[in-house]
Chains A and B, each alone.
Chain A
Amino acid sequence: AQSVSQHNHHVILSEAASLELGCNYSYGGTVNLFWYVQYPGQHLQLLLKYFSGDPLVKGIKGFEAEFIKSKFSFNLRKPSVQWSDTAEYFCAVVGFQKLVFGTGTRLLVSP
């Protein structure tokens, strides 16, 4: 069964710092990968997704993620974070029509 690991549980950054959140998945076949974000008090929303094609995926709000098949990774990046990026970030993979989520990473950006 597919599974997802997020190794950073809490990340604290200053504004303008670069961000990289790790995500590793277990499934060796064709994968559909996602990053979701949950801002304080808000719904879970889709940040970006990868199905096929260009392994560098660009999402909303300046986020991007790179699918590296050889490393089973789909890390999330942003060159310069803002205070408004404070949120919880979840990596997910689709398995049998349902999403399998990682445990999430809480990002705190200090102004």
Chain B
Amino acid sequence: GAGVSQSPSNKVTEKGKDVELRCDPISGHTALYWYRQSLGQGLEFLIYFQGNSAPDKSGLPSDRFSAERTGGSVSTLTIQRTQQEDSAVYLCASSLMGRGYEQYFGPGTRLTVT
């Protein structure tokens, strides 16, 4: 595709529900990243997938957060038992292998937990 796409663009959910956020990276990009943008917190790294290697999960804030990448392309970020502090914009980015310094960002998913 032309760029990184994410869906949904907006998601409102009740506290305690599970949510899934989807990311479609640029075709041919083997690296995929998830970040979270919270008010006053800037952009926070969550998880990084690179090819078939084990993902770098060092940024996931709790075990309620998980992500997978199927077939080396589409990724899903899952947040279980959502809390109000999970409200943020979740950004996905992708890059070519070994070029983590050149990431292309998607439009983000705005998650609101009520």
Q: Which residues of A come within 8 Å of B, CB atoms? A: 6, 32, 34, 42-46, 49, 51, 90, 92, 94, 96-104
Contacts beyond the supplied A43-B3, A99-B100, A103-B40: 7 A-B pairs with Cβ under 8 Å: A43-B107, A44-B105, A98-B45, A99-B103, A101-B45, A103-B41, A104-B43
Q: In the complex, how many residues of chain B place their beta carbon closer than 8 angstroms to a beta carbon of chain A?
A: 25
Top 4 A-B pairs, shortest CB-CB distance: A97-B100, A103-B42, A101-B43, A44-B105
Q: Which of B42, B56, B107 contacts A98 (CB 8 A)?
A: B56
| Bound CA–CA A49/B103 (angstroms) | 12
Instruction: Name the residue on A nearest B31 (C-beta).
Output: A97
Is B65 part of the contact surface with A, judged by Cβ < 8 Å? no
Is B33 part of the contact surface with A, judged by Cβ < 8 Å? yes
Min CB distance, A30 to chain B, in Å?
Answer: 12
Contacts of A99 in B (CB 8 A): 33, 35, 43, 45, 93, 100-101, 103
* B86-98 interface bits toward A, Cβ cutoff 8 Å, 1 = contact, 0 = none: 0000010100001
Is B25 part of the contact surface with A, judged by Cβ < 8 Å? no
| Bound CA–CA A90/B48 (angstroms) | 20
Tell me whether B56 and A96 are in contact (CB under 8 A).
Answer: yes
Contacts of A104 in B (CB 8 A): 42-43
| Bound CA–CA A99/B100 (angstroms) | 8
| Bound CA–CA A99/B41 (angstroms) | 15
